[in-house]
A = this chain, B = another copy of it.
Amino acid sequence: MDKFIHHRNLEFLLYELLDTEALLQRPRYHEQSRDVYDSILETARNIARKYLAPHYQKGDANEPEYVDGTTRLIPETKVAWDVIRDAGFLAAHCDEAEGGLQLPEVIFRSATAYFHAANGPTTWYPFLTIGVINLIRAFGSQEQKERYLGALMEGRFAGTMALTEPGQGSALADIKTRAELQDDGTWRIFGQKMFISAGEHDLTGNIIHMVLAKTKGAPPGVKGISLFIVPKFVVGDDGVPGARNDVALAGLLHKMGSRNTSSTVLSFGEKGGAVGYLIGGIGSGLACMFQMMNEARIGVGMNAAALASRGYLYSLDYARDRSQGRLPSNKDPVSPQVPLVAHPDVRRMLLAQKAYAEGALALCLYASSLFEDEHTHPDESRRVSAGVLLGLLTPVVKSWSARYGCEANELAIQVLGGSGYIREHPVEQLYRDQRLNPIHEGAEGIHGIDLLARKVTLRDGEALRLFTEQVRRTGAEAEQVLSVSRHAHALRRQLDALLAVTDGITALARNDPDKGLANATVYLDAFGRVTVAWLWLSQGLVAARALEGSPNDADRLFYKGKLQAAAYYFDWELPQVEPQWRLLTEGNSIPYDMMDTWY
């Protein structure tokens, strides 16, 4: 299984970079132990290896089929669903008293890394269901919890998030789906939703759609949006699915990748109205949905990290096994060829993949640790600050991981050359699957504006202040350690530049929001680069200190690799922010000034 996720690296991130064992001190995790976590991760590895990886390519070659108004998946998908359910992962976040695993977020997310790396498309079914479970737990009425949670946790029902509409991609404020209140307090839903992942399938007896819709007379814009539970089969008081609800599969979408996740167009209310149940208050639909969206965004980051990781390890194996060519210094054509990994350019491509894959994994797990602190840290002020920081970093986690996940998978293909381009090897599928990540759960452009227009200015810039403190703390420690002090200085310079740019650009955006936010995507990318530089400095610092002890041989090599990847990141990746700072500082308006008639 180290072919998908480097297990030693995962342990490093959990127990050396992040202090996951300290969670055991918190009341919620008192009864647990590192052994418990190790065995959870071992279970996830085994499931990934036995039940997910084997049908990764089959699910791609045999995408979901429209059959009699429903969707048929390859049967391996159902087996995997059952196994994941039986292992308790659907109820990973739920309390033990509810029958859940009560897992810390970092452990849950680490388990998902194995699943995503082995077979992302199949993994989205359980993970969307988990999102619905968490959403109903957070906002559902007592009656709603009783009616749905058990069935979802037991995998009898699955869940979806139904936001996007055919005419509206990222512009949720303009959704047209409407909800009409009935005398009995239920609602009738009318409208169409598009790109709904897992919107129809044959895994479960029922599907619970979480649907955004506008109520009659609601104010325009996002304030008019409410959230509804719309089951495929209306659930009776006995908890048993009864009559077919007025939700129809209008069509399947045929994706470039991630094919085994059905992508659907759903019609609500073509026969008089789909029965829906309001969850949260009227008008608070988007606020509720943001919980699930933010979870899904970290999930996208983790999917991206996992695909990058698998491509990296696969191409590394290939480069070690296959001999080709000679080094330029060797002019003797009868000397043996060298393995691909001996060529410096191949080493560069592998090192870049390592920097992206392990950087993204560190970023996602760090975000998970913030999520954990937000919910279970004993100190209230720490809970608050963790939440604020997580809010700031969520667009970065999602977007940086997706963007550089694509870069990583592109390099995996290049390492294999022609072999990377054919379906006999999995890297081309990883590349196609990965390309979804910069799109779903908010395209990059949206996240750039979210970061720059909302997150960095929130609470008078408190989130950015917390982030800055964190980075400076690591920098101050790292400056004292010879093998990483050079990186610490570089990070300090770029952090200062980030702060200066932020001041300038937010001031501009206050006066002229269109122009001020015009380059927000560049800002998002540069912010991500600085954030991941901080995580590479942190990893390098841990590795440098570990090397000062007496690690065993395997660990010594591992830590050396961490230091080299950190050096790669600081020399090859981070300096690319400099042209970005210039564009942002001068408020470059070349794209902004481009006229439609000039293209």
Which B-chain residue is minimally distant from A517 (CB atoms)? B328
Distance A360 CA – B324 CA, assembled complex (angstroms): 31
Does any Cβ of B come within 8 Å of A337's Cβ?
Answer: yes
Does any Cβ of B come within 8 Å of A96's Cβ?
Answer: no
The residue that A170 contacts in the complex, of B325, B444, B561, with Cβ under 8 A, is B325
B597 touches A347 (CB 8 A): no
* Chain A interface SS verdict (over half): helix
Distance A579 CA – B417 CA, assembled complex (angstroms): 27
A372 to chain B, nearest CB (A): 30
Distance A591 CA – B352 CA, assembled complex (angstroms): 9
A216 to chain B, nearest CB (A): 16
Distance A428 CA – B434 CA, assembled complex (angstroms): 13
Does any Cβ of B come within 8 Å of A38's Cβ?
Answer: no
The residue that A328 contacts in the complex, of B256, B449, B595, with Cβ under 8 A, is B449
Given contacts A518-B344, A564-B594, are A333 and B599 in contact (CB under 8 A)? no
**Residues of B close to A514: CB separation below 8 A:** 327-329, 344
Which B-chain residue is minimally distant from A554 (CB atoms)? B597
**Residues of B close to A576: CB separation below 8 A:** 576, 579
8 of the cross-chain contacts (CB-CB < 8 Å) are A171-B325, A329-B513, A347-B594, A414-B438, A568-B591, A572-B588, A576-B576, A579-B579
A582 touches B590 (CB 8 A): no
Interface residues of A in 442-478 (CB under 8 A from B): 443-445, 448-449, 453
Does any Cβ of B come within 8 Å of A195's Cβ?
Answer: yes
Interface range on chain A (Cβ under 8 Å from partner):
35 or more
**Residues of B close to A517: CB separation below 8 A:** 328, 344
A137 to chain B, nearest CB (A): 29
Binds B, one of A84-92, A179-187, A418-426: A418-426
Does any Cβ of B come within 8 Å of A255's Cβ?
Answer: yes
A599 touches B256 (CB 8 A): no
Distance A489 CA – B79 CA, assembled complex (angstroms): 64
Does any Cβ of B come within 8 Å of A382's Cβ?
Answer: no
B599 touches A571 (CB 8 A): no
Given contacts A256-B423, A327-B514, A333-B220, are A348 and B521 in contact (CB under 8 A)? yes
**Residues of B close to A572: CB separation below 8 A:** 583, 588, 590-591
A228 to chain B, nearest CB (A): 20
Distance A254 CA – B173 CA, assembled complex (angstroms): 43
Which B-chain residue is minimally distant from A417 (CB atoms)? B169
B345 touches A521 (CB 8 A): yes
A428 to chain B, nearest CB (A): 4
B324 touches A453 (CB 8 A): no
Which B-chain residue is minimally distant from A515 (CB atoms)? B344
Does any Cβ of B come within 8 Å of A168's Cβ?
Answer: yes
A249 to chain B, nearest CB (A): 16
Does any Cβ of B come within 8 Å of A440's Cβ?
Answer: yes
Distance A324 CA – B194 CA, assembled complex (angstroms): 15
A554 to chain B, nearest CB (A): 9
A421 touches B448 (CB 8 A): no
Distance A593 CA – B568 CA, assembled complex (angstroms): 11
**Residues of B close to A341: CB separation below 8 A:** 596
Does any Cβ of B come within 8 Å of A24's Cβ?
Answer: no
For the complex with contacts A174-B325, A347-B594, A571-B590, 20 further pairs of A-B residues with Cβ separation under 8 Å are A169-B418, A171-B324, A174-B333, A194-B418, A221-B334, A263-B422, A328-B513, A344-B518, A350-B599, A351-B590, A414-B438, A418-B440, A421-B436, A428-B435, A564-B595, A568-B591, A575-B579, A578-B578, A578-B579, A579-B579
Interface residues of A in 394-435 (CB under 8 A from B): 406, 410, 413-414, 417-424, 428, 431-432, 435
Interface residues of A in 507-550 (CB under 8 A from B): 509, 512-521
B588 touches A571 (CB 8 A): yes
A421 to chain B, nearest CB (A): 6
The residue that A320 contacts in the complex, of B325, B329, B518, B596, with Cβ under 8 A, is B596
Does any Cβ of B come within 8 Å of A290's Cβ?
Answer: no
Which B-chain residue is minimally distant from A348 (CB atoms)? B591
A598 touches B557 (CB 8 A): yes
B254 touches A346 (CB 8 A): no
A582 touches B588 (CB 8 A): no
